[in-house]
Structure 1
Amino acid sequence: MITGNHEKIAFDVTKEIVIARLSNCQHAVDKEHGEKVADYFETIYNRILEIVNSEEN
């Protein structure tokens, strides 16, 4: 759940990265690939959130 500005920034940036990546790939629409995309999204989101939070300090 997005609760603050940093989370919103991280979500929006991650969404754009994932959309760009998926638009350049051929993936089957199935459970396995959906789980991989979710893992990819989560990994990127967590790293971007870490960077955004560190920029404030």
Structure 2
Amino acid sequence: SMISHTKRSFIKSWLEFQHVYNTANNDDTLKQSKEYEEAQKIYDELNEDHQEDRLVQA
């Protein structure tokens, strides 16, 4: 179905994003950057949404 395909590609890009994010997490120079701060906000929001989705599905 269309939805599961979209969800799969979202999860794939989500995992890739987490990988990049975690790599950046170990880099102090990157951590000072404005882009990193914005990414962190987005990451936290997505993470909260993801937790809420899990609660809904449970």
The verdict on a shared fold, with TM-score over 0.5 as the criterion, is no
TM-score (norm 1): 0.45
Q: Which of these two proteins has the greater Rg computed from alpha carbons?
A: 2
Higher relative CO (Cα under 8 Å, sequence separation at least 6) belongs to: 1
The structure whose residues are more often helix, as a share, is 2
